[in-house]
DNA sequence: ATGTTATTTGGTTATATTACCAAATAACGT
DNA sequence: ACGTTATTTGGTAATATAACCAAATAACAT
């Protein structure tokens, strides 16, 4: 790849991969409102405990969330706040896609 | 999933999936500098023509890029400019991850 | 019409992701 | 120490992605 540091591109792709899943995206958006424990996500997402735990550790591995064990519960929270504005751009793309589809019927 | 529109989460995940690949991320970053034809990417990326073409159509399908056929060449360009600021947040995460690693040796 | 260049499409195989189950670990209350 | 709750880890099967090759399509030049 021309003009770029392949290791940097790979690092970025890793973070994007961590976000690129419905469940993990949901988790990140929920964490934008405040910390939550694994058990809450299990209930909300409707998946196995192990499945949710793996999604969370993937997000942690990517450096997007951080962990705080308190008592028998494990709480996750967002580590990098800009993630939220960042998702605004994604919404802008969706809006632009929708407008394009609508304009086909005018 | 509580409090969210599953279709919206899926739409967002689709866009993130489109970005979550080294080659496609490279393409997007190059397009941030201006339009480019498929043949240029083939050369720069060092992959098969068909491979690059498929990456590009995935980005197009996600609404991130747009196409302009001129003569025998096909030019791609970014459709939504905010993608670029958006990638700044990813870099912030990487920086934060690196600082954390470094602090382990202090 | 024919050849050349640029690109897309279809098929196949290799690789990566995801989800679940079962078992292991950890912290707490009794 | 023992049971209970919360979470992680390992294994496995199903599904999704990615890369290449070969063939099809498109536009232009001869």
pLDDT band at A60 (very low <50, low <70, confident <90, very high): very high
Q: Is the pLDDT of residue A35 over 90?
A: yes
Q: What is the pLDDT of residues B27-47, one digit of tens each?
A: 999 999 999 999 999 999 999
Mean pLDDT of A63-80: 96
Q: Is the pLDDT of residue A68 over 80?
A: yes
Residues 48-77 of chain A: which lie with beta carbon within 7 Å of strand C?
48-51, 54-55, 58, 69, 71-72
Average pLDDT, chain A: 94
Nearby residues of B29 by Cβ (< 8 Å), 6 or more positions away? A4, A9, B87
pLDDT band at B90 (very low <50, low <70, confident <90, very high): very high
Contact B92, A11 (CB under 8 A): no
Terminal CA-CA length for chain A: 42
Q: Is the pLDDT of residue B106 over 80?
A: no
- Which residue from B minimizes the CA distance to A66? B97
Contact B27, B55 (CB under 8 A): yes
**Nearest-angstrom CA–CA distance, A55 and A5:** 28
């Amino acid at each position: 790849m021309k003009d770029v540091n392949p290791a940097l591109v790979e690092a970025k792709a890793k973070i994007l991969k961590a976000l690129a899943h419905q469940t993990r995206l949901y988790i990140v958006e929920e964490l934008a409102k405040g910390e939550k424990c694994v058990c809450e996500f299990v209930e909300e997402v409707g998946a196995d405990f192990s499945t949710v735990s793996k999604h969370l550790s993937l997000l942690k591995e990517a450096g997007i969330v951080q962990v705080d064990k308190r008592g028998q519960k494990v709480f996750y929270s967002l580590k990098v706040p800009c993630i939220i504005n960042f998702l605004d751009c994604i919404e802008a793309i969706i809006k632009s896609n929708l407008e394009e589809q609508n304009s086909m019927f005018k």
